Amino acid sequence: MSKPVSDVKPKKKPENFLDLTTKGRETAENSKREKPKKDTRRPKLTKKVIIAAVTAVIVIVSVAAYILYFQPTSELTNQQVIDRVQSLSDVPNSEIPTIATVEDAESLAIQDGFYSDAENGDIILVYSQSKRAILYRPDDNTIIKNGNVSTE
């Protein structure tokens, strides 16, 4: 005769045996197994972060473009000064003038009345053969004074 079902002892399962009958139910046996965890630490970019980054790039590029291309150069070459003065006044083309920049307008005004209207940054052109001096203001592109030079 056969044994009643209640008297049958279940066989012991090996440790590496996967019990498919539990299907998601926690038992003491499969709760011991480590479940792989999902990596939830990925940074999420929000719209605000993306907009801030794009705005920062636009500002940096704009400032760089202004500095490189649109900022006027403060220093003129001697030839540029001569060309500008020639366009404003009749000066000798055959002579190359001596060019100096006014650095202390107050002391020049005390020394000679020719420099009474001079400002720091003005340019003096002296044509020694023609005995002529020109006080030029590059910021306004104007001739401030035009006079004769005495060589004693």
Last residue of a domain, one of 30, 54, 72: 72
Give the mean model confidence (pLDDT) for residues 77-94. 86
- Identify the domain containing residue 65 by its residue range: 43-72
| Alpha-carbon gap, residue 122 to 95, rounded angstroms | 21
Same domain, 61 and 83: no
Same domain, 139 and 83: yes
CB 146 within 8 A of CB 127: no
Joined together, the tokens standing for residue 59 give: 């500002």
In a domain, 14, yes or no: no
- Measured between its terminal Cα atoms, the distance across the chain in Å is 149
Same domain, 144 and 119: yes
What distance lies between CA 148 and its chain's CA centroid?
A: 48
Order across the sheet with 142-148: list the strands: 98-101, 123-127, 132-137, 142-148
Same domain, 94 and 140: yes
Same domain, 57 and 100: no
Same domain, 48 and 89: no
Give the pLDDT confidence of 56-70 residue by residue, as tens digits. 999 999 888 877 776
Query: Residue 117: pLDDT band by 50, 70, 90 thresholds?
Result: confident
Give the mean model confidence (pLDDT) for residues 13-28. 56
| Alpha-carbon gap, residue 87 to 111, rounded angstroms | 29
